[in-house]
Amino acid sequence: MSNETVNQMQSQIEKTAAGPARTYASLVLDHFEQLTSLQLETAKACAETSIQQARAALEVKDSADLQGYVEYQQKVAKDLSERVKGDTEKATSLNQAFVQNAQKLTQDKCPRDVQVRRGRHEQGDSGCGESHQEGGSGRGKESISNAPPLYRREAAIPSSSGGRL
């Protein structure tokens, strides 16, 4: 093999496999970092709220303090639920952005023949002249009824009464 052939092979591998894999790994790592940061912020806020609530509970000395504490607990619960809702929306937004970026990466970097094959598969055509839809794979109801009794739904299942279920 000549040096030129090796260089062409390396270039093709980089373009079709290694480069896109590296880009996808970077995308995944960035997404992981963003989600982790969001989770740490949420955990910190919850921990601070818990500590504040514990300190407030220690300050309760009579029924008036207890009533004020309970009323404040309701406000804290409302604030916390709004925080969780906002953080959930942020996480959803991050996940949607990740999916869009991953799809764009796939469309930009995936070789055209792979995209064509994927399109055929989604339409039920494997490209091999057979359909994966009902009856096309040769594994329809007939093959299930020919299966050993262990794999059929109507197989006898021992019960405490000794009969069939």
The domain total for the chain is: 1
Average pLDDT over the chain reads 77
pTM above 0.75, yes or no: no
Instruction: Name the CA dihedral angle for 63, 68, 71, 74, rounded to a multiple of 10 degrees.
Output: -110
Give the domain extent around 17. 3-110
13 has pLDDT over 50: yes
Q: Has residue 150 been placed in a domain?
A: no
Q: Has residue 138 been placed in a domain?
A: no
Q: Tell me: the pLDDT tens digits for 77-134?
A: 999 999 999 999 999 999 999 999 999 988 887 655 555 555 655 665 544 444 444 4
131 in helix, strand or coil?
Answer: strand
pLDDT on residue 90: 96
Q: Has residue 156 been placed in a domain?
A: no
Euclidean distance between CA atoms 85 and 79, whole angstroms = 10
Contact 139, 61 (CB under 8 A): no
User: Greater confidence, 52 or 136?
Assistant: 52
pLDDT on residue 11: 85
Closest C-alpha among 137, 111, 140, 116 to residue 127 = 116
Euclidean distance between CA atoms 68 and 65, whole angstroms = 5
Euclidean distance between CA atoms 96 and 89, whole angstroms = 10
Q: Has residue 160 been placed in a domain?
A: no
